[in-house]
Amino acid sequence: MDDEQLKLNNQICFPIYSVSRLITKAYKPFLEKMGLTYPQYLVLLVLWENDNISMSKIGEKLLLNTNTLSPLVKRMEKMELLQRKRSDKDERSVFIQLTPKGKELKNTAVPIPEKLLNTLMTEDVTLTEIMLLKDTLNKWSDILSEKQNDEQ
């Protein structure tokens, strides 16, 4: 067995993991002003794009299981950012809808992506490189999702 394969510096996953954690940390000061956690912000991003969608659709978009998403949505409902409604057609389906307070937060959130992007760009890292990396990560996400679906 080649021990080089098991060195942390040789892992593809570790830089992705560490950057993910650091980016989440970079969001923190912006989100704290809004009283949100990063997962709550992600739920709001989905709802700002498509309000009144099913809980299962939000879970699909965010790659979150119901057991993770449900308590998150319940907390956000207590914060009066959204409300849950059972479907009239199928009471097993729950739809999530923004409240006026949740819609209002969108105005506060508008500058966050640009501020984060400015944090990432340096003399060594260009916007083009960031967008290329984003596209590559999206492709990897699609590939890994497909493979996991095939295995189920």
- pLDDT tens, position by position, 30-83: 999 999 999 999 999 999 999 999 999 999 999 999 899 999 999 999 999 999
How many domains, the chain?
A: 1
Within a domain: residue 116? no
Within a domain: residue 29? no
Structural domain for 42, as ranges:
35-106
- pLDDT tens, position by position, 70-127: 999 999 999 999 999 987 777 778 899 999 999 999 999 999 999 999 999 999 999 9
Within a domain: residue 84? yes
* Mean per-residue pLDDT over the chain, rounded: 92
Partnered with residue 85 across adjacent β-strands are 95
Within a domain: residue 145? no
- Percent helix, strand and coil across the chain, each rounded to 5? 70, 10, 20
**pTM for this entry:** 0.89
At 59 the three-state DSSP class reads helix
Within a domain: residue 68? yes
Within a domain: residue 17? no
Within a domain: residue 86? yes
pLDDT the model gives residue 86: 84
Within a domain: residue 80? yes
